[in-house]
Structures are given as structure tokens and as C-alpha cells.
Amino acid sequence: MAILDIHQVSLSFGGLKALQNVNLKIEKGTTHALIGPNGAGKSTLLNVLTGMLKPDDGSVMFDGKPLLNVNSYDINQLGIAKVFQTPAIFPEMTVLQNVTIPVFAARDGCFNMNMFEGRSKQRPLIEFAEQQICELGLEKHMNMMAGSLSRGDKRRLEMAICLANKPRLLLLDEPTAGMARHETEKTIELLRSINDGITKVIVEHDMNVVFSLSDKISVLSQGQIIAEGSPTQIKGHPKVIEAYLGEAQV
Amino acid sequence: MNTQSNFWQYNKTVLMFAVVALTMPFWFPLMGGYSGLDTKIMIFCIFVVGFDILLGFTGYLSFGHAAFFGISAYVTGIMLKNFSDNIIPAMLVAVAAATVVALIIGLLTLKRTGIYFSILTLAFAEMFDSMAMSMLQRWTGGENGLTGLPTPMLFDLKMQGDTVFYFCALMAIALFYFAKRIERSPVGLMMKAIKCNQTRLEYTGINARRYKLLAFVLSAIYAAIAGSLMVVYEPFVGHEFLGWHQSGEIVIMSVIGGVGTLVGPMLGAAFMLYFENVMSVNLGEQWLLVLGVIFMAVVIFMPGGFMEAMARLKKRFFTTIDGE
């Protein structure tokens, strides 16, 4: 069953057609990669899914609910989390505080006036946040300022923030961009370990990451989906070689 | 027993502030502070603690908080003069009026961030200032200020001298405690997250705009309570209450003391009022020059204000001991 149904989505910036009649179904529980050359519209498509951009046309349904004209925070509350290209965390807060935020967001919704409730008295919630941090291997840094973490650890922390309010769909925008080889390997492992039925959509340039993680790949070029299929199908697809892989292999 | 020590740990700063505040009439005159200045310090402590909920937690710098201070002061004055000399109804109506104004201004100004937000708040405050000077002159007394107010009463109690001081001090302690509670609540966490990374916060399922508005209105309520108490303390409303100068003073107090620490801005307020009134006797008008130098020194060398200075001293002191 498709958890995400993108239907005939189009979006232009002035004269530039960033997305043209994009149709895409993401199956529940799978890892779906979006690849394509620079400027193909991959990040634009992710931004449409998180409510940051409004398409000119088309519809997006998430688990039967429309996603267009919904605020970013409401989209997150529905169960869609996004991992940014540069890790987006709360640098002037401790690692634990960083993860406490989504835990309270999951309990209280997008706004709650509980001004007199002591956070530290909510033991089960704090413990859950601590558990999330441990699962991502950050337990040594629990009370460290998030801004002073290494880049790889910032990525882990961001992942912990995203996973702490139990999303059903995780969007990843080039999670390994600018990473060294061994960090990339670690990230692949990390992503593979997240499999509590969470659907993942991953935008990535690193073919190694794409082919080792995804169940299905869609190829975008000039705002259109030109091919779709399993990793093996995509590897041999002539259109893809022409638009993307060929260019890379020259 | 454990809960008792927890209670102490949890409320240490509030209890310390309470002790310092309530004993002030005994030690403050020894430092050369005239009677009444201690009351003014308490009132400004309320103002800056509230201001820190906005500036310190969310990072939004308002240059227009004099509007809420001034509006509340004028409404209190008008109520005392025309309705009843009891301060309770006067204060309630004044704070309610300022809250409504804050909601409207907040909804409009919080659409913008950074310098645009600051300029917008300044513009709104100036608008109220010029309104008080022109179309509302009949009620505000224009340039002369609102005069001829009766002695404020708390039911049968005359609000004069030490009574006013203790009334203001108790308010300050309660409101400081309230601010501390907010800081430790989920709301405080969300407000501080706004300062860190608003985009991440929105993508974590939080409606940042509503938390910003809440911080803005709460800080305006603090400003309004302070403004109202100013009239209780001295039954007169001057038009400078609404001026940009007043807004600026609050910003300087907060920065000197240490933004975001709640205690710091109170230290800043006490420092500024003390030096303004005690040191200016010796320095005369030169006082502003000295203040300027202090302000620049803090911003350049110690952006965390007095609180950072204290933390550094503490660290140096303790590390030498540890080094033994």
C-alpha cells in the first residue's frame, strides 16, 4: 500500500519548470531513493512534501490525508520528519534537551500552554529521550552542547530528533553530503538500522549509498520522472545512463 | 527529607532573591541608596525579568516595551483618578488593557524577525507615545503628565513608604518564581529552541509562532505590572514612561546583566538604577558617559554580561582549588 501518493505535481519558479506532472507512489516500509543530476528537482520535491513550497498544481496524499496547504509543523505531527543536508539541530542546547523537544512535541501537539509543568519531573518522557540518544550511540555526549559535536555526531543527533516523535515517513536530503568515506559507511549502517516499519525517502548523489540502501529508485531529470524501478533495473536503464550515470562515468 | 533538599535545590535562586529583596530596606540605605530607590529597583526587576522571557528565551529584541509599561501606567493613573483609589481594580484593568494591545502588536510584529521586528516594535511604541501627546491629551495630560492623583490605597492600607516597597518586592519575588517555572517547563524549552533554530523547531512539529506570541504577551504583562506599580509607587505618570528612551534602558539593563539568565537582567537593573541615582550625585551628567563606557566594555569583552563575569570568576576560583 502506498503511504505517500504524489499525483500530477507541477511547480515553476518564474519560467523555470522545477517539477512537471510528477507522479510518484512510495510504498509503506520501503526505502525509496530519488536520484538525478543537479537541478533535477529532487530537493524541490522534498520541500513540497514538508510544506515549505506550494506546488502550482497536483495533489499529495499522505496515508489518505492531503498534505498541500498544511503547515510544516502539522505535517510533522502527521508523521513526516526531515533530515536536512546540513544537520539541523539546536546548537546552544544540550544533546538531551535537543531530543526532549520532539518528545514533548509528540505528547503535546504543536502548541501547549503548560507553563507550570516541570520538565525534569516527567521521568518517563526524559527516559525515552535518553533511550533514543543511546540507540544512536550518543550517550557519552548526553549533557554536551549540541553545537560542539562533530559533524557525524550532529547527523546522529538530528536523526535522534527526527526519530523521537516516531515518524512514519523519514525524508533524507543528501544525508552523506560532504562526508568522508568512513563516515558515509557509518551513515549507511545507521540508516539500515532504522527499520521499525519507517518508510524512507532518500535524495542522494552518492551511488554507493543509493544502491546499497534502496528498494526502489526514481530518477528525476529536468523536473520529470524519467525512470523508476529496482536498483538493478535502474543500473541498466538506457535513459538513466544518458541523463545521469553516463555523465558521471565519463 | 530528599524532597526537602530537592525543593531547596530547585528554588535556590528564587529563595536567594527573596532574602536579598526583603532585607533591602535594612542594608540599602547603608550603601547610600535613598528611600524609595529600592522600590524602583524592585519594579524594574519585574520589567526586565519579563523582558528576558522574550529577549533571553526567544531571542526577539523588542525596542517597544515602553508601550506596555506606559499604557499600563496611564490606565492605572486614570483609574485611580476617576474610578477608585483602590489599586486592585486599577492594576487589573491596566494589565488587561496592555495585554490586549500586546496581542495585537505581537500578531503584527512577529511576522518579521531580527532588525525588522525591532524596528516595528519601536514604531508601534512611538505611535502610542505620540497619541498620548496629541489626541489623548485630555486623559494623559500631554507634556505635563498625569498629575493630581490620590494616594493609592490597597483597600484600607495607604500605599506609602515601606508598604509600597514590600508590595513591590513580593510581586517581584512571585513573578521571578513564575519566570523560573516557565524556564523549566516544556514551554520554556520551546521558547529557547526558537532562539537556536526555528526551522528545525517547525520541522519537529512545533508551532513556533504561537510560542513567540506567548513569550511576547507574557513579557508585555510583566512590563504592564511594572508600569502599574510605578504609579502606585509615585502617583504620577510622565510621558517619558512611553518613550523610546525607556525601551532602550530596559535593553541596556538586560545586556549589562546577561541576557537569558533571568537573574542577570535584575542585576543589570539594580546596577543601573543605583549608579544613575547614587553615582550621578558625584559625577553629574558625566554619568551617561561612564554608562556608555561600561556598556561598550560589556558588549565587547563580556557579551554574557555580569553573569558571565561571575561564572568566569567562579571558574577561576574553583579551578585553582582543583589544581591543588
The answer, for B185 touching chain A at a CB cutoff of 8 Å, is yes
Q: Residues with Cβ < 8 Å from A241, sequence gap 6 or more? A: none
Count the Cβ atoms, other than its own, within 10 Å of residue B287. Answer: 17
At A22, phi and psi to the nearest 5? -80, 125
Domains identified in chain A, total number: 2
- My answer on whether A177 and A146 are in the same domain is no
Q: How far is A153 from chain B, CA to nearest CA, in Å?
A: 17
Chain A contact present for B3, CB below 8 A = no
Whether residue A54 is found in the same domain as residue A176: yes
Note down the domain range covering A142: 91-166
Computed over every residue of chain A, the mean pLDDT equals 89
Helix ranges (H only) for A50-121 are 72-78, 95-108
Nearest alpha carbon to residue A49 among A76, A13, A20, A27: A76
Q: Is A222 helix (H, G, I), strand (E, B) or coil?
A: coil
Nearest chain A CA: its distance from B276 CA (Å): 34
Tens of pLDDT along A96-146?
A: 999 999 999 999 999 999 999 999 889 999 999 999 999 888 999 999 999
Interface ipTM: 0.91
Please, how many CA atoms are within 13 Å of residue B76, restricted to the half-sphere of its CB?
Answer: 32
User: Is the residue at B5 inside a domain?
Assistant: no
Query: In this structure, are A71 and A177 located in the same domain?
Result: yes
- Please answer whether residues B222 and A94 qualify as being in contact, where contact means their C-beta atoms are separated by less than 8 angstroms: no
What pLDDT is attached to residue B3? 56
B181 shares contact with chain A (CB less than 8 Å): yes
Q: Enumerate residues 6+ apart whose C-beta is below 8 A from B185.
A: A114, A115, A116, A117, A118, A119
Mutate to test the interface with B, among A90, A107, A132 (most CBs of B within 10 A): A90
B172: pLDDT strictly greater than 80: yes
Q: Is residue A191 part of a domain?
A: yes
Q: What is the pLDDT of residues A136-151, one digit of tens each?
A: 889 999 999 999 998 8
- Decide: helix, strand or coil at residue A193: helix
How far apart CA B209 and CA B110 sit, in angstroms, is: 7
Claim to verify: residue A156 and residue A99 sit in the same structural domain: yes
Neighbours of B2 (CB within 10 A): 6
Chain A residue at shortest CA distance from B202: A73
B205:A91 CB<8 A: no
pLDDT for B324: 35
Tell me whether residue A86 is in a domain.
no
> Given A166, A191, A219, which residue is the final one in a domain?
A166
Give me A66's grid cell: 492531503
Strand partners, B157: B154
The pLDDT of residue B322:
47
- B6 interfaces chain A, CB cutoff of 8 Å: no
Which of B3, B204, B213 to substitute to test the interface with A, most A CBs within 10 Å? B204
Query: What global pTM score does this model have?
Result: 0.92
Residues on chain A touching B189 (C-beta within 8 angstroms): 97, 100-101, 104, 119
Task: Tell me whether residue B223 is in a domain.
Answer: yes
Last residue of a domain, one of A146, A166, A186: A166
Question: Is residue A137 domain-shared with residue A121, that is, in the same domain?
Answer: yes
Whether B169 has its CB under 8 Å from any CB of chain A: the answer is no
Q: What is the CATH number of the domain that holds A178?
A: 3.40.50.300
Domain encompassing residue B87: 13-323
Residue B306 placed within a domain? yes
Rounded Cα gap, residues B18 and B256, in angstroms: 22
Chain A residues within 8 Å of chain B (Cβ atoms): 50, 71-74, 76-77, 81-82, 84, 88-93, 97, 100-102, 104-106, 108-120, 161, 165
- Where is the domain boundary, A166, A187, A208? A166
CA distance linking residue A227 with residue A248, whole number of Å: 17
Are A3 and A72 members of one domain?
A: yes
Q: B208: which chain A residues are within 8 Å (Cβ-Cβ)?
A: 73
Using CA atoms of B65, B68, B74, B75 in order, give the dihedral in degrees to the nearest 10: 180
Q: How confident is the model at residue B158 (pLDDT cuts 50, 70, 90)?
A: confident
Query: Are the beta carbons of B208 and A114 separated by less than 8 Å?
Result: no
Give per-residue pLDDT as tens, A180-234.
888 888 888 888 888 788 999 999 888 888 988 999 999 998 889 988 999 888 8
Residue B7 placed within a domain: no
